[in-house]
Structure 1
């Protein structure tokens, strides 16, 4: 009869020492460095697929010059410009050349105003990033504390009211929320500016005395004038609320669901049986495990914010990438549109990588 050694690790002969904990950990899949390296390398195929998809979709409309200038130029001049730009060559040749340009950081020139697309991106991209930053602050300020409060009042009146409000915030179009905010706080109450990133006087002062980084908050602070900073912040309030409410509703429901889930786990029940009060249970035992799914979703919400920024910037005449993208779409300037969409895709990919880092630091279990 064959005897079995109880407790011997799988794959280890009886009488031999078991592997060291470090070796077992290495065998399981590596630590934080390996996890982050894999996540970083995944950025490149993701961007490659996105760039290729955008290129092919843009080319289905024909060559960009004919789309933008067709009917405005004589046929011979139009054909000359198409040939000079190389859009009459085989599609695969154009694709290879375009990918080479992207690798060098060259997104081409716009057709409608003949500007380098990289200049357009740097000029208007800072405005979009600044708006997304403020909107994310609003989303956190609304979603996280209210989600925790709803979880602590589960199935009671406040919980039901907050859940309904979260659904309404998510379901209401962002441009409609923007119009309502403008009507109430700009027209009726006259508390906040109706549109723009800053008043004309503030913009002139920042051009003379500011750092001119494109981030108006930083530029306003660098002037040393609190009135200019106040003007910039007042212009940012309504657009940030309009865009932040959309994501805040998602955060509220997500926080509520995850906190309720962690409050029902065995270790929380054990702490509760030892007499730990509910507030301490929420703060010390249930909150951190509930953070991981929330952090993971943040990356997806950044993409949602950037798409919502198109409507928000148009509603408030916030001159960022979204606002400018609409202008180029109207002009059928698909070279500019293509460059902007690619840049937004890169921003989303990098944001997801940063979110992966934060999630791995919060919960080491996801590294394996």
Structure 2
């Protein structure tokens, strides 16, 4: 009897106590997460395939590209010879299959107006667009997150009303009008900043000395190690990046303000406030991180809109990137070049959305795999 009682008293002591410290933490990087990433990545393939198909047939809805680009400038015999040489008189399905085969080998065709490979155009001018989009995104995050936090902290006050009005103006103002307004103020009236281009002629001559230029002028200026060239590049980038960045900043301001206010009224924040936690700490430690999740989710869509806005921004500031060349090729009705640029932008948007989905899945505990 004594040994049985002793065994009964020792049994609870050997049982592990289920406390929060002993509970295993959930690992977000698991087999389910990797399956989620693989599925999301594989979805890029049918998305790009559908976009390529739509762009191909839409570009040929008005006829063959050579007639659209060179019709009226060649005699009917010369035009027909060019069409036959390019293979545009073959059945449309055969052209489509050949085009897909070229895509698999990295061949996007040859431009009709200046007779250069489309892939060369993309590599030459793509860096300019990526650099502009990156600088604009930095401005959008700094302005949008900073003003959004201030508006949430000063809710329903004069500062909040002013910031909300500013956000609406940023979002509603066409990017080309904002660009022209910035040029008028800072270039014409004040004379502080250049009105067009990516750099001055002197800086362009300096870049020609580089053995392996990247096409990103900020990086190339750092390679040169010349502060004057770097300053010149940044001065040329301020106005176009500001015009494009403020468009997205308006969206970020409203997102940050709305989500920070909603987390401010949540139960765990109220519990922390009742314990005497300061409002500044409530904002930075408790309400801020949950408010970031919707911003990261929306960021992929905003980058897509930013690339679309780059067409007007680059045209306004004569920033020779993909947007500027897309506008040029559209005016020349060079549908081969337009098709290649649109496909590249579609691929970039698909990849960015994939990255955003993966990051959101890592930081958002509500996502299930």
Deviation at 1:167, TM superposition (A): 0.5
1:161 lines up with 2:145 in the alignment: no
How is 1:75-114 mapped onto 2 (pairs within 5 angstroms)? 75-114=76-115
Runs of at least 4 residues off by over 6 Å:
none
How many residue pairs end up in the alignment? 345
Match of 2:143 in 1: 142
Pick the structure with greater CA Rg. 2
Partner secondary structure for residue 73 of structure 1: coil
In 1, Cα distance between the equivalents of 2:337 and 2:62? 14
Deviation at 1:361, TM superposition (A): 2.4
Checking the alignment, whether the CA contact within 8 Å between 1:210 and 1:223 is kept in structure 2 is no
Deviation at 1:124, TM superposition (A): 0.4
Match of 1:117 in 2: 118
In 2, Cα distance between the equivalents of 1:256 and 1:88? 57
Match of 2:360 in 1: 359
Deviation at 1:30, TM superposition (A): 5.0
In 1, Cα distance between the equivalents of 2:187 and 2:27? 59
Checking the alignment, whether the CA contact within 8 Å between 1:35 and 1:367 is kept in structure 2 is no
Match of 2:303 in 1: 302
In 2, Cα distance between the equivalents of 1:246 and 1:213? 28
In 1, Cα distance between the equivalents of 2:304 and 2:210? 34
In 1, Cα distance between the equivalents of 2:363 and 2:162? 31
Match of 1:334 in 2: 335
- Listed one character per residue, the Cα deviations across residues 335-363 of structure 1 (whole Å, up to 9, x for unaligned) are 00000000010111111112122222222
- Listed one character per residue, the Cα deviations across residues 228-249 of structure 1 (whole Å, up to 9, x for unaligned) are 0110011000000000000000
How is 1:93-242 mapped onto 2 (pairs within 5 angstroms)? 93-209=94-210, 211-242=212-243
- Listed one character per residue, the Cα deviations across residues 297-334 of structure 1 (whole Å, up to 9, x for unaligned) are 11001111111100110110000000011111111100
Deviation at 1:209, TM superposition (A): 3.7
Partner secondary structure for residue 366 of structure 1: coil
Checking the alignment, whether the CA contact within 8 Å between 1:117 and 1:339 is kept in structure 2 is yes
TM-score, normalised to structure 2's length? 0.90
- Listed one character per residue, the Cα deviations across residues 48-99 of structure 1 (whole Å, up to 9, x for unaligned) are 1111111111010110001011111111111111112111111111111111
In 2, Cα distance between the equivalents of 1:32 and 1:38? 10
Deviation at 1:25, TM superposition (A): 9.5
In 2, Cα distance between the equivalents of 1:367 and 1:329? 44
Quote the RMSD (CA, aligned, Å): 1.7
In 2, Cα distance between the equivalents of 1:357 and 1:243? 26
Match of 1:60 in 2: 61
Match of 1:17 in 2: none
In 1, Cα distance between the equivalents of 2:362 and 2:60? 42
Deviation at 1:367, TM superposition (A): 4.2
In 2, Cα distance between the equivalents of 1:363 and 1:328? 42
- Listed one character per residue, the Cα deviations across residues 16-51 of structure 1 (whole Å, up to 9, x for unaligned) are xxxxx99x999xx95321111111111111111111
Partner secondary structure for residue 196 of structure 1: coil
- Listed one character per residue, the Cα deviations across residues 114-137 of structure 1 (whole Å, up to 9, x for unaligned) are 100000000000000000000001
How is 1:34-45 mapped onto 2 (pairs within 5 angstroms)? 34-45=35-46
Deviation at 1:168, TM superposition (A): 0.6
In 1, Cα distance between the equivalents of 2:353 and 2:176? 26
Deviation at 1:210, TM superposition (A): 6.3
Deviation at 1:211, TM superposition (A): 3.6
In 2, Cα distance between the equivalents of 1:37 and 1:66? 43
Give unmatched runs, 5+ long, in structure 2.
Answer: 1-22
| Larger CA deviation: 165-174 vs 94-103 | 94-103
In 1, Cα distance between the equivalents of 2:47 and 2:94? 22
Checking the alignment, whether the CA contact within 8 Å between 1:272 and 1:281 is kept in structure 2 is yes
In 2, Cα distance between the equivalents of 1:88 and 1:130? 40
Checking the alignment, whether the CA contact within 8 Å between 1:211 and 1:218 is kept in structure 2 is no
Match of 2:5 in 1: none
In 1, Cα distance between the equivalents of 2:57 and 2:350? 20
